[in-house]
Amino acid sequence: MAWSESDIPDLSDRTYVVTGANSGIGWEATRMFAAHGARVVMACRTVSKGEEAASRIRALSPGARLEVMALDLSDLDSVRAFAAGLRGVHPHIHAVINNAGVMAVPLARTAQGFEMQLGTNHFGHFALTGLLFDALTPDARVVTVSSGMHHIGSFDWTDLNWERGYGAWPAYGRSKLANLYFAFELDRRLKAAGSGIKSLSCHPGYASTNLQFVAPQQNKTMFGPAFWSVGNALFAQPAAWGALPTAFATVSPTISGGEYVGPRLFQAWGAPVVQATGAHARDAEGWKKLWEASEKRTGVKFQL
């Protein structure tokens, strides 16, 4: 039988953190977790949007336990403030779902000067997870959302910041490959330390979300929104289906750590299953290089 939302167990003893929880895959995953009893901290860049998103979930699940907190992953000061505030309220966290991200945006820099996509999608989540790490319960999970676009990603270790030859899609691919490098290296380190915490990665396949429209809006093009509108209408699965790999990676009892979960049919549609990444995502030396670069750039070290 295909795994579905109905397979999510009772989560009333769980506290989850979901980044980018106000829309798309993050909102659907939050809705699912809350409907099954979890307390969910919705980490959102804009609190008002988070509160509106929480209200929509409460309309579906009146007993939903939701808390909205401000988090801007493109600013490490915001990440540190969020982590400190969260730990003051919730000293025990059962899962961190690294979901938020930006896709194929024009060249821009984070508050600390990193290329925006790698800075937001990877460095921000690396720092967040590290700062929350000692609050994770012994059976906790770290779930990092990647993308099938990791297949086009590559690293130039002499130019992580895209000082030359920037391309919006290659930069996105690099950031999604970085998500996998992080998830796999964290898994390796956890197992070496004998920890019960599990690190997983997943991707939504081709799901219809607002993420696809951000870059065209920033580029102020008419073609982009039209292209995605038609493509989503004809080929995309609903965001709720795209969130199933995230839910599966977070709650499935069959997970041992290190798995990559995505939709079954052509890695684009359907029920979540464990599947293979691109071969280049299994570069253990690359994992270590990125980990060391991430520690240096964020100033965050994991206490394993």
172 catalytic per annotation: yes
**Helix (H) / strand (E) containing 141:** strand 136-145
Confidence of residue 213 (pLDDT cuts 50, 70, 90): very low
301 within some domain: no
22 within some domain: yes
Q: Is the pLDDT of residue 211 over 70?
A: no
216 within some domain: yes
Picking from 253, 259, 286, the residue whose alpha carbon sits closest to that of residue 275 is 259
Q: Is the pLDDT of residue 176 over 70?
A: yes
199 within some domain: yes
206 within some domain: yes
Q: What is the mean pLDDT of residues 2-23?
A: 97
Question: pTM of this prediction?
Answer: 0.91
What per-residue confidence (pLDDT) applies to 234? 44
Q: What is the mean pLDDT of residues 173-183?
A: 98
Q: What is the mean pLDDT of residues 137-141?
A: 98
Q: Is the pLDDT of residue 229 over 70?
A: no
To the nearest whole number, what is the mean pLDDT of the chain? 93
- Predicted confidence (pLDDT) per residue in 64-94, tens digit: 999 999 999 999 999 999 999 999 999 999 9
What per-residue confidence (pLDDT) applies to 269? 81
Q: Is the pLDDT of residue 233 over 80?
A: no
Q: Is the pLDDT of residue 227 over 50?
A: no
264 within some domain: yes
CB atoms within 10 A of CB 159: 12
303 within some domain: no
304 within some domain: no
Q: What are phi and psi of 201, to 5 degrees?
A: -130, 160
Catalytic one among 16, 172, 181, 260?
A: 172
What per-residue confidence (pLDDT) applies to 221? 62
Whether the CB-CB separation of 126 and 298 falls below 8 Å is answered with yes
**Helix (H) / strand (E) containing 187:** helix 168-192
- Give exposure, 240-268, as e/b (b: 16+ Cβ within 10 Å): bbbbbbbbbbbbbeebebbbbbbbbeebb
Number of domains present in the structure of the chain? 1
Domain that holds residue 164: 5-295
Domain CATH for 228: 3.40.50.720
**Helix (H) / strand (E) containing 270:** strand 269-274
